[in-house]
Amino acid sequence: MLLSIKFRTSIPNTGGTVVKGYWVSAYRTIADPEKLAAYNKLAGPAVEAAGGRLLARGSRVVAHDAGIAERTVLIEFDSFEQAVAAHAGAAYQEALAALADGVERDFRIIEGLG
């Protein structure tokens, strides 16, 4: 079965559409829960201020292939460019500094289907 999902949002006053952007973060290991807690305290407000919306976060994961059943986070932004800018922003960079080597994760910014 082939599944096709399109994520689009209207751009006010232009009549056009823009493809959404997503942060996908799959944690491989959590070495320091205190660093992760410090990161979460800073990252949540930074992501919200940058226009991100938390869609999923949890440790209940079923992994397949080479996946690891650890914490996984999915965040949506109105555009791919907004997602990239949010990651580069000073507030999120501060959160990353707090996280430091507290976790090993696979973090990706992806463009939704257009």
Given this model, what pLDDT does residue 4 score? 40
Q: pLDDT over 70 for what percent of the chain?
A: 86
Alpha-carbon gap, residue 72 to 61, rounded angstroms: 7
- Out of 7-11, 61-65, 101-105, give the one with best mean pLDDT: 101-105
DSSP state string for 2-71:
------EEEPTTT--EEE-EEEEEEEEEES-HHHHHHHHHHHHHHHHHTT-EEEEEES-----TT---S-
Look up tokens 């800018």; give the residue: 85
Global pTM value: 0.81
Q: Domain extents for the chain?
A: 21-111
User: What is 21-111's CATH topology?
Assistant: Alpha-Beta Plaits (3.30.70)
- Residue indicated by tokens 């973060």: 25
Q: Are 107 and 27 in contact (CB under 8 A)?
A: no
